[in-house]
Structure 1
């Protein structure tokens, strides 16, 4: 291990995701294991600028592995996007003798880390925390598995009322730029249609598919829509279009929204957070930086942080094929 690293800071940034607390816990306890001091930074980069720091010990993270959100809070910092803001942040890290940084967040948080590293050469490792699962270099981001189960549970409940009233429900899930949640939840919940940004179904094709489902004897339907889907301007326009063209259905819309980002993390996310936290600290102690830890084929790996930001996670074409078959 590199002895020059004596104090590591950990922070959460951007949108919160279930499993972030488990990752904080893992970083803090790994530092304790290697007898490295750990500092928590409140409110991400903004807290770094304001020196909102707290010393964390193994006991500081008792009873947080099961909690959603983040005990270190999160915020988006406009000031950190400026050279002056980053200069303040660096000065605070140096003043408090912090040698390295673990950043838990998504691509925006990682972009800030890369810029900071390029300017000051400050060692940093990223842990991917976002329910969208849209970070290159890992099959799963923290919070993704929990969000899937939260959304699927909600859709199961919606289906009960849909079948009771012969209704068609459009259920919008998160995914502004990626359809990973919608596709997996749609297949898992048995949706009749799945609309995602990567595949533009189109209004006419969607309507034709719903009519086919109706004629086959289905008395109710669930359409799962990623918020970034391009079939219409928004989910309400989709609902209005179907209502105008299919009198036989009562159409309803349910937007799951931020409930997908909350709640107790799944076992998978807790274990993943624990594994990634250990690896992040160990990479820093080995003198490595500007990397993101992730999961591939159930192995914890490291990916260049810039590559993680610029790379794209492709939608699973095999799962799309399965979806088409299942909606027959």
Structure 2
């Protein structure tokens, strides 16, 4: 019986090699491949290539399309995609990939000669450049992708959804991240989702995008004199939600004195990303302060009242009114 050939079904370390989905698995005498098959790490070559979602990890680029090349050190460069090919022996040795693995020929802006690169080192020009530009504009350390930070996920049809960043799916694979949708009032805590990092944008651009959509909806409603009360109510609800989200982003990013551990609902506030007293005051100031607190995850009416009372107690006393 001839030996069966396998391909990797998921990122896999095999000896000194780092295999990607679809890469051929070396055949070594004496190695038992049955456990790897039961774990779903490898599969028969004829089935593996058909079952591997290549388009999720290696997008289909067209000739001449502008792409972003990400080097092994994380540095990036713009290039034009030329063609997809299979690695020759020289390519395989230079790029540390198996012979026959998928590679790409690209042309960098400052070099007229085609260069062969790993296919998994290429990302679409957008929204990658928007993400890089926003990261570069941050004045402080790269805390953008800390657990609990607000991000917006732009799905395949362009609809934005505000999420909480929960971490990279694999620290060695910067293309995949775990996120969780914000909990709706009275609804159970939503489950975790796995998305592509290139489809995420930071929380501040998220609120700008959502605010733009809110304004667009409001303008459309204003042009239709026969807009129903239901439509107007939806616009008002969306406006309130946007206002709250903008306050929450400001509160999460506000620096200052850290909320004491014995402060009412300190743990629940930290779970929502509100960790400083100045940030908390941003949420509670004004007529909607109590409603803003109750809109947070795990903060009900009772906790909101205790938080408001504690914030009031911390505030300096009002000066006495002048006599006469």
Same fold judged by TM-score > 0.5? no
Point out which structure has higher relative CO (alpha carbons under 8 A, 6+ apart). Answer: 1
Larger helix proportion of the pair: 1
TM-score normalised over the length of structure 1:
0.22
TM-score normalised over the length of structure 2:
0.23
Larger strand proportion of the pair: 2
Bigger-Rg structure (1/2):
2
